[in-house]
Amino acid sequence: MPPTPSLGTPVPPAQPSIWGIAARITRTQYWLFAGLGLLSPLLAWAWLSASGLIDPIFLPGPVQVFTRLLSWLVEDDLWGDTLISMYRVMAGFALSAVIALPLGLLIGAFKPVEAVLEPLTDFIRYMPAVAFIPLVMLWLGIGESAKISIIFIGTFFQMVLMVAENVRLVPSAQIEAAQTMGATRGEIIKLVLLQSAKPAILDTLRLTMGWAWTYLVVAELVAANSGLGYSILKAQRFLKTDTIFGGIILIGLIGLLMDQAFRWLHRRSFPWLHAQG
């Protein structure tokens, strides 16, 4: 090998710092940090409850909560509570989506529809959904329809506005290109607006699904005799904090799973968005 001219001792290539602004990290590093983020609250909780500083009646340990979840599953009706809660979320959410999607599309596509509906929706959106509970109970009692209605009120108005915005953000060049290719109004809605906004709309659904869970718990705390939210409320009366902890964690886990399911669906449905050159 010919001798290479050198300006001193060779310097190994610099390792980029992971702390640079917007720096990249490897997949392993990512999961390492994710594990740290997820585990440290758990460890802090375990340590705090084991230290005896706080009465276990107020702060049960992780093991105790886990045991309670098991007994809830075996002796009580954890499955039933979970399923009825999921049913309510799904029903309220689906009802919202079925009406909000076409309405949002129309608001986003046509200015007169926007003028008629958007200020009104904006107004209703700022009325707290929770404040409707007494009214809903007067009208519908405490049956399933009451809970589904509260979830509907909590999610529908936000969803309409977000879908309308998703549609408005379709680049005008996409619409105008279709017009100069001879597309009719209906074709533009079906083949351009809807297709172009679809990924953003799915993200809107993912976000509002999270809110649907919040309103489910609210509805069940006030007007129910079954479900996860109801179990949490009942546990409070008997000072069963382990059940409260278990219920909260379970709802969090279900929410996380739903969120991941939506993300998976997003990747699967829109390969063109995730495709890289």
Partner 1 sequence: MSKVHIQQLGKVFGTASANAVPALQEVNLVVEDGEFVTLVGASGCGKSTLLRILAGLEHHSSGSVHCNGAAITGPSADRAMVFQHYSLYPWLNVMDNIKFSRRLRVNREDLSSSDVEAASGRADALLDLIGLGKVAKSYPNQLSGGMQQRVAIARALMGQPAMLLMDEPFGALDAQTREVMHDLILHVFKLEKATIVFVTHDVEEAIFLADRIVVFSARPARVLEVLDVNAAIGTDRTFETKESEAFFRLRNHVLHLIRDQTRRASPEMTETHS
Give the list of residues 6+ apart from residue 109 with CB closer than 8 angstroms, or none: 167, 189, 193
Query: Minimum distance from CB of 154 to partner 1 (Å)?
Result: 31
**Which of 99, 183, 200, 207: binder of partner 1 (CB under 8 A)?**
183
Q: By CB under 8 A, is residue 168 in contact with partner 1?
A: no
Q: Counting beta carbons within 10 angstroms of the beta carbon of residue 13, is it exposed (0 to 12), middle (13 to 18) or buried (19 or more)?
A: exposed
* Residue 54 engages partner 1 in binding (rule: CB under 8 A): no
Note the residue count of the chain: 277
**Closest CB to partner 1 among 87 and 110?**
110
Number of Cβ atoms within 10 Å of the Cβ of 81: 22
Residue 176 sits in the site that holds partner 1 (CB under 8 A): yes
Interface segment toward partner 1; rule CB under 8 A; list 135-143, 145-153, 168-176, 242-250: 168-176
- Written as six digits, the tokens of 125 are 């959106």
Contact with partner 1 (CB under 8 A) among 36, 138, 173, 268: 173
Residue with smaller CB distance to partner 1, 58 or 272: 272
Which of 229, 178, 174, 216 is CA-nearest to residue 196? 174
Q: How far is the CB of 267 from partner 1 (least distance, A)?
A: 14
Under the criterion CB under 8 A, does residue 19 sit at the interface with partner 1? no
Q: Which is nearer to partner 1, 80 or 171 (CB)?
A: 171
DSSP 131: G
Number of residues that bind partner 1 (CB under 8 A): 25
Sequence-ordered list of residues with C-beta below 8 angstroms from that of 166, at least 6 positions apart, any chain:
104, 108, 197, 200, 201, 204
Is 182 an interacting residue with respect to partner 1 (CB under 8 A)? yes
Instruction: Examine residue 177 and tell whether it contacts partner 1 (CB under 8 A).
Output: yes
Burial class (CB in 10 A: 0-12, 13-18, 19+), 16: exposed
| Nearest distance in Å: CB 185, partner 1 | 11
Those residues whose C-beta lies under 8 Å from the C-beta of residue 227, and which sit 6 or more positions away, are 81, 84, 85, 88, 147, 216, 220
By the rule CB under 8 A, 270 interacts with partner 1: yes
Nearer of residues 138 and 173 to partner 1, judged by Cβ:
173
Token pair belonging to 27: 């997949």
Please identify which residue in the block is written with the tokens 């329809």: 145
Q: Is 111 in the site for partner 1 (CB under 8 A)?
A: no
Does position 234 interact with partner 1 (CB under 8 A)? The reply is no
Residues that bind partner 1 (CB under 8 A): 171, 173-174, 176-184, 187, 191-192, 195-196, 198, 270-273, 275-277
